[in-house]
Amino acid sequence: MVLRTRRIALTPTPPSERARRPPSKARRAAHAQGKRDASGVRPSRSAGGERSGDGAILWQGLIGAKAPIWLFDLDNTLHDASGAAFGEMHVAIGDYVVEHVGVSREEADRLREKYWLRYGATLLGLVRHHGVRAAHFLDETHRLPGLEERLRTSTHDRAALARLPGRKFILTNAPRAYAMRVLRRLRLLRHFDDVITIEDMTMFGSLRPKPDARMLRRVAARLDVMPSRCVLVEDTLAHLKAARSIGMRTVWMRRYVGDRFRGSSHGTVTSGFRAAPRPRRACPKPLYLYAKIGALRHLARPR
């Protein structure tokens, strides 16, 4: 059998038509303008339609015509918790384990790291294996005298929150008393519809803080929206991965992470434990991330 191919003659564009066409640079600009959505942001060529790096997230193209529901982590997302709180907090947690579990300082550090990697929070391991009361632990380890004087955030991020469209919520594993101290001191509280803290993350009588996917799904249900309408802005990759598994959009805030991330697994970004090994080349953006940002103004641009 002989396969016959059909030849298609390419008709050259007449000179008069070429004269009427705009230059290539103008055509590209017009093409880009046609791709812009109602918010005036051009989608990138990266997967998912978002702009990675310092670009703005095309949230309308991802979620539809409705404004998204923003879920913001607190520590190392809205303020520099590594400089203001984490050092003293880690010491307080170690002291608490030594006193209330009855182990040496070395064993206390080992338990902290073990429970962080296994459960996503040292507190969960202490509750499950040592009978620690969660409320007592949170009160003892988050007192942090002089915290207000050490708190810092960006005025540009504060302004970006004010003009960001959609409802905004705090979703933090920190206790409410600590979260309210931070938000009031930094004058961020007025930008949020509500504050969801670890005290609100109890399911079936047990604590289910981030990265528990069941809790994240319940948060969306409480807000009466589908998970796909929610955008979680976080500094901890394990939490973002869990959010993506239920359909939430995920944004990695890297302003306060810096060079501490070396591509390692489960939560060592902000755990305060040993540094992850340095890879031979830069770690690419994981598939469960829609964007990496260094400032909140990159979440959306004004029209």
94-138 pLDDT, tens digit each: 999 999 999 999 999 999 999 988 998 899 999 999 999 999 999
Domain boundary among 98, 122, 141: 141
Is 217 a domain residue? yes
Mean pLDDT of 229-248: 96
Do 76 and 86 reside in the same domain of the chain? no
- Are β-strands 202-203 and 249-253 bridged in parallel, bridged antiparallel, or unpaired? unpaired
Q: Is the pLDDT of residue 38 over 80?
A: no
Indicate if 61 and 105 belong to the same structural domain: no
User: Does residue 54 sit within a domain?
Assistant: yes
Q: How many CA atoms lie within 13 A of 138 on its CB side?
A: 17
Final residue before a domain boundary, out of 141, 176, 192: 141
- In this structure, the answer to whether residues 58 and 181 fall within a common structural domain is yes
| In a domain? residue 125 | yes
Same structural domain, 159 and 288: yes
Please tell me what DSSP assigns to residue 79: B
Task: For residues 184-201, give the mean pLDDT.
Answer: 97
* Token pair of 180 as six digits: 């309210």
Q: Band the pLDDT of 67: cuts 50, 70, 90.
A: confident
Q: 149 phi and psi, to 5 degrees?
A: -70, -20
pLDDT value of position 53: 41
List the CATH number of the domain containing 96. Answer: 1.10.150.450
Segment (H or E) for 162: helix 155-163
Which two three-digit tokens encode residue 218?
Answer: 């319940």
Mean pLDDT computed over every residue of the chain? 79
Domain membership of residue 23 (yes or no) is no
Domain limits for position 131: 82-141
Please tell me whether residues 94 and 136 are part of one structural domain.
yes
Do 108 and 220 belong to one domain? no
> In the 8-state DSSP scheme, what is residue 299?
G
pLDDT digits (tens, 9 = 90+) for 137-147: 999 999 999 99
CATH classification of the domain holding 268: 3.40.50.1000
Looking at the fold, whether 245 and 98 belong to one and the same domain comes out as no
* Residue 187 sits in the same domain as residue 261: yes
pLDDT above 70 (res 56) = no
Specify whether 130 is located in the same domain as 220.
no
Q: What is the mean pLDDT of residues 271-282?
A: 46
> Model confidence at 303, in pLDDT bands (50, 70, 90)?
very low
Q: How confident is the model at residue 285 (pLDDT cuts 50, 70, 90)?
A: confident
One-letter identity of residue 36: R
pLDDT band at 30 (very low <50, low <70, confident <90, very high): low
The structural domain count of the chain equals: 2
Q: Same domain for 100 and 231?
A: no
CA torsion, ordered 228, 233, 238, 241, to nearest 10 deg = 20
pLDDT exceeds cutoff 60 at 257 = yes
Residue 66: per-residue pLDDT: 79
Q: How confident is the model at residue 164 (pLDDT cuts 50, 70, 90)?
A: very high
Average pLDDT over residues 226-242: 96
Q: Residue 174: which pLDDT band, with cuts at 50, 70 and 90?
A: very high
Specify whether 234 is located in the same domain as 171.
yes
Span 199-224, pLDDT tens digits: 999 999 899 999 999 999 999 999 99
Kindly state whether residue 99 falls inside one of the protein's structural domains. yes
pLDDT for 20 equals: 54
93 domain-assigned = yes
Tell me if 170 is assigned to some domain: yes
User: Within a domain: residue 240?
Assistant: yes
CA 210 to CA 75: how far, in whole Å? 13
Is the same domain home to 125 and 234?
no
